[in-house]
Structure 1
């Protein structure tokens, strides 16, 4: 690991390459992944490789709490410049020069909010926001913002459904359970061990 690395307590780390300004919350799980650049990750988030790559150019990747990101996922904030005669990095690889316009950088942070599940073999492009509770199906390519609690699939990714009814989604967005203290989460264990319904939401302590 190189750079300014700040790790939360009780993290599980195995086979990780990290280089940059990287900060994590407590109780995260990192397995066979690569983190490069300015990256901030919340508590209890899992990046479970192998071949899981987060690469930042000139912006930032922000990942919330209780997220699950699977193997073979690529998340990056820059791309090839295909408006030139070649999309190949010819300046770097043939002329041995650094050209400012050889890559296209996103300056807006890439934000993955809380309780997001990203399935295996996905590509997430820079400058977008994935809302709370969203699911990205395996093999998807995400090129635009993802609404809260939506299910996105395909290449390019499209919304194919929602996890809950609109009324429930609004309640969950206001509830913000991912920000609760661990004591409050444990006190309301019943809401996590059962499939969600409005009656359960009304019983929250």
Structure 2
């Protein structure tokens, strides 16, 4: 996924407004859909280097980035209160709390040392130490495991709690729930509830047959207003019965 960083101007703010991409979530001032101001910097994902359409942004209408100026692919009716990387792909109806972050650079653990002299040439104190000791640059072996892992997939109807830590390269399945402060190191199945360090499956939101039914119906393909007349207090399978009649 390519990206571009721009200084906001009226044209960019109008573009976000035109595509119904919000950078705030609450209605303290109904006329303001954005916290961004001119001269703020914003990073935008690009598909096929296009900026002419919402499809080119990879962001669907009626989603919200509460704090971050780094935008990423996100589906309708989702919001994020966190600073996810530009390559993140977030589906529809997702709720991402504050403080969600990614693993930092991973040091090599299979070498004589995890210290930076084994992989990093840009640290001045390491370069100076070697030059002053033997008048040479230390012969490191390149190590950049994160460079080839530039994806994070968050499917539809995912709820991620506050201060969760995510490993690059994982997929969070549709309908899953990630407990507060969990450390997620591998894929999470659809509708699983996980928590802990490292995160483990605590239980599933619904029984297996109901999950199969939800995944088959794929209700997230629709606008939630289409379900306006279905009572949210109904049990899940009663709700799905009525939903199936509409679809």
With the shorter chain as reference, the TM-score category is: 0.7 to 0.9
| CA 1:102–1:35: 2 relative to 1, 3 Å | farther
TM-score under structure 2 normalisation? Answer: 0.67
Q: Decide which structure has the larger Cα Rg and report it.
A: 2
Unmatched 5+ stretches in structure 2: 7-11, 24-34, 47-56, 129-136
**Is 1:125 aligned to 2:167, yes or no?**
yes
Secondary structure, counterpart of 1:111 in structure 2: strand
Matched, 1:19 2:19: no
- Equivalent residue pairs, number: 191
User: Per-residue deviation at 1:191?
Assistant: 4.6
Q: 1:17 to 1:73 in 2, by over 3 A?
A: farther
- The alpha-carbon distance between structure 1 residues 81 and 153, as it changes in their structure 2 partners (threshold 3 A), is same
Change in CA separation of 1:172 and 1:33 when aligned onto 2, cut-off 3 Å: same
Segments of structure 1 that go 5 or more residues without pairing to the other structure are: none
Structure number having the greater strand percentage: 1
Match of 2:114 among 71, 86, 94: 86
Q: How much does 1:175 deviate? A: 0.9
Match of 2:194 in 1: 152
After TM superposition, the structure 1 = structure 2 runs for residues 20-99 of structure 1, keeping only pairs within 5 Å, are 21=45, 23=57, 24-33=59-68, 35=70, 39-48=72-81, 52-55=82-85, 60-75=87-102, 79-83=105-109, 84=111, 85-88=113-116, 90-94=120-124, 95=127
CA shift, 1:87, in A, is 4.7
Deviations 1:125-170 (A, max 9, x none): 1111110000000000100010100101001000001111111110
Instruction: Mark the CA change 1:191 to 1:133 in structure 2 (over 3 Å): closer, same or farther.
Output: farther
Q: CA RMSD in A?
A: 3.0
SS in 1 for 2:66: strand
For residues 104-183 of structure 1, the aligned pairs below 5 Å read: 104-105=145-146, 106-107=148-149, 109-180=151-222, 182=223
1:75-107 per-residue CA deviation (whole Å, 9 max, x = no partner) reads: 35x63223342354742332499x883431243
- 2:11 matches 1:9: no
Decide which structure has greater helix share. Answer: 2
1:198 partnered with 2:198 = no
CA distance in structure 1 between the aligned counterparts of 2:85 and 2:115, rounded to whole angstroms: 19
TM-score scaled by length of structure 1: 0.79
